A and B are shown apart, each in its own frame.
Chain A
Amino acid sequence: MSQRPPLDRRQFLKAAVGAVAGAVGLSACSGELAADGSIDPAQWKPLPTTQPSPTPRAVEALTPDRALELLLEGNRRFQASAGVNPDQSAARRAAVALGQAPLAIVLACADSRVAPEIFFDQGLGDLYTVRVAGNILSDAVLATIEYAAERIAPPVLLVLGHKSCGAVKAAFTTIELGAHAEGHVQSLVEGLRPVIDHIMATEKDDIVDRAARYNAEYQLEQIRRRSPAVNRLHREGAIKLVAGYYDLDSGAVEILGAL
């Protein structure tokens, strides 16, 4: 194959950024660089699957309860409009450039108002966030969560529904009318159908928000059933499975239940 030029662009950039970011950046950047450049299929050597994060907070063993508490603390700061926007600087970027050790896997809606990093007041490398409309468990989402649970194993898995969810509303309208949504949107309707059917059978009013709450619990249960890695971590007590509900108006995250 080809030989690497003596001055590799990436290394040069790293050095430049590291110099600006300071000692933290340089010490974090200098280590494994040669190992990850120019990988040849013949000489492919996988790195250790769990890369230790250089950040002190992630290195200390966080219990699931403590990790959840950190998230809720951040949410209280956000509610009070007193967020500190932590872990978003160039120094943090350099610190997590070679590995991640997030606090939690978060499955949330693609809705632009439901940005977990903002309403939990977290930053780079803190939340492994999976987002799809209606926070439903599609095959790609299941693969993502399985990957994260197996290779990264954060202490918390949080499934978040939210108020005034457009996907739930669209699914409810489509199902109530017996209609068929256009294009691939129908697959969102199908993903939410068990939830909508259940809520329509038991509730009369406020169906969209009640369905969004029930949907979070339902999808969490589906993840526990279908993801072997999550199931194993859960049995070992290494992960806490939590369903939550985000209120767009107050900014509060309500814990609906934990498995």
Chain B
Amino acid sequence: MDRRLHISRRAALRLVGITGLGAWAAACRPMEPKPANFAYPTPTLRPVRAVAPADAIERLLVGNGRYALDLRLNPGRTEPRRTQIAAGQNPFVVILTDSDSRVTPEVIFDQGLGDLFVIRVAGLVLDDEVLGSIEYAVEHLGVKAIMVLGPERSGAVRTALAAVLEHQPLMAELDPLVEGLRPAITAAMHRSGDVWENTINENTLRVAERLAATGPLLHDFVAIGELKIVAGRYDLDTGLITMLKRPVGYVADETHEETADAHGSEHDPAETGHDEPTADAQDDGHSETGAEATPTTDAHGEATQVDSHDAATPTTDGHGAATPTAEAHGEVGHAEATPTPAAPDAGHGDLVTATPEATH
């Protein structure tokens, strides 16, 4: 906790510095203001060939800096740009972000018409049509960079959290949202800190990782270095983008997820009526994949799952989990199965990524 306090101060002070710089820069501008509708030309000349991945991300972050400091250029919003791109589009990046009205990519990256290929759905849920849109941009338009952007305080994520953690009933139409976010909620719910924030960041990282693993197209382009997929967090207050990365030594643990999913489905019917048939079917699917390792999904089955974890991580003490009630047993099992990073603080002090710490 002491360490975290120091980091907070450092990051805060740094931002105060940036903000002060912005105020100073704003004060240094000419006294005679440009008319409100004045449009500057697009800052960089549009290359005929696609923009390289690293350049695309850099251009986004530079534009975001202009926006956060209130030094927007508002490029590419007038008639010349419109006619320039009317015949065909040549975006330099794909943005996948939330539909939230406060997270407008063209504004928060200070880009213009024809610059960003934008897909926006609540909770960044990946379905076939969303994947198809991204593949279309990569394959047909030659885009070489994708930024997955999760906004702070997403209302859609909160709705899914309420549905999963409190079993708040929702319309069946919202199932894709809840089910899309369920893995991230399951992974984030036992971490220390703000569940809402942790779920958003975990989901953003997961979506980026899933995109990079989606075959054949995206996976292949990533493999040959022709496509870069990054994850970011948008701060609603400062307007700044923070890049999200996994902590050093983080290993995605699929078995843990399966255990957690089986755990969730086991407790769903026991609590309030969670009676959407599709959700149940999905949960059953999860249980079955979990059952490949363990034949049953009752408390005994979970114990086997946790034991196999303990075998993998010899430092944890599996015998402490022998508590009388099944529920408490499950909780302890989860806490011990949470992967602990080998070096959680190596150079990642200012990342907002929640380090998966076990909660005891």
Contacts and interface: CB of A to CB of B under 8 A. Distances in A.
Given A40-B195, A81-B78, A112-B89, A143 B122 contact: yes
A187 interface: yes
Contacts of B173: 142-143, 146, 226-229
Interface stretch (B15-23, B53-61, B284-292, B299-307): B15-23
A85 B174 contact: no
B19 A139 contact: no
Nearest to A21: B70
Given A13-B12, A81-B79, A148 B165 contact: no
Contacts of B82: 113, 248-249, 251
Contact of B130 (A13, A112, A132, A248): A132
A229 B173 CA distance: 10
B226 interface: no
Given A9-B12, A17-B237, A248-B86, A81 B136 contact: no
Given A13-B238, A78-B77, A113 B85 contact: yes
B121 interface: yes
Nearest to B105: A115
A133 B129 contact: yes
Interface string B93-129: 0000001111010110000111111111111011111
Contacts of A129: 99, 101, 104, 120
Contact of A115 (B116, B168, B174): B116
A6 B1 CA distance: 11
B130 A2 contact: no
A150 B170 CA distance: 10
Given A46-B158, A88-B107, A89-B70, A5 B5 contact: yes
B36 A166 contact: no
Interface string A100-141: 101000000011110101110001111111111100101111
Interface in A1-57: 1-3, 5-10, 12-14, 16-17, 20, 29, 36-41, 44, 46-47
B187 to A, nearest CB: 13
A112 B116 contact: yes
B237 A110 contact: no
Contacts of A128: 99-101
A228 B171 contact: yes
Contacts of B19: 16-17, 20
Between A29, A39, A81, A184, the greatest number of chain B beta carbons within 10 A of the residue's beta carbon is seen for A184
B62 interface: no
A93 B239 contact: yes
Contact of B136 (A13, A14, A93, A167): A167
Nearest to A105: B99
A141 B174 CA distance: 10
A63 interface: no
Interface string B52-89: 00000000000000011010101001110011011001
Contacts of A113: 82, 85-86, 89, 113-114
A102 B193 CA distance: 30
Given A96-B102, A118-B112, A144-B121, A132 B129 contact: yes
Contacts of A100: 100-102, 155
Nearest to B173: A146
Between B90, B156, B174, the greatest number of chain A beta carbons within 10 A of the residue's beta carbon is seen for B174
Contacts of B166: 44, 46
Contact of A12 (B8, B122, B141, B155): B8
Contact of A139 (B107, B153, B176, B239): B176
Contact of B217 (A29, A47, A111, A183): A183
Interface in B30-69: 36-37, 39, 67-68
Contact of A191 (B120, B129, B155): B129
A256 interface: no
A187 B136 CA distance: 11
A259 interface: no
26 contacts: A3-B1, A12-B12, A13-B11, A16-B19, A36-B194, A41-B189, A46-B162, A85-B37, A85-B72, A93-B237, A115-B113, A125-B102, A127-B104, A129-B99, A132-B133, A143-B122, A144-B125, A146-B174, A147-B155, A148-B122, A164-B86, A167-B133, A183-B139, A187-B128, A188-B129, A248-B86
Interface of B: 1, 4-5, 7-9, 11-12, 15-16, 19, 22-23, 36-37, 39, 67-68, 70, 72, 74, 77-79, 82-83, 85-86, 89-91, 99-102, 104, 106-107, 112-123, 125-133, 135-137, 139-141, 153, 155-156, 158-159, 161-162, 165-166, 168, 171, 173-177, 180, 189, 192-196, 214, 216-217, 235-239, 359
Given A7-B8, A124-B104, A249-B82, 8 more contacts: A2-B192, A6-B5, A38-B194, A47-B158, A85-B37, A111-B89, A136-B129, A143-B122
Which 8 A-B pairs rank lowest in CB-CB distance, beginning with the nearest? A138-B129, A112-B91, A187-B128, A133-B133, A9-B8, A184-B132, A144-B122, A184-B131
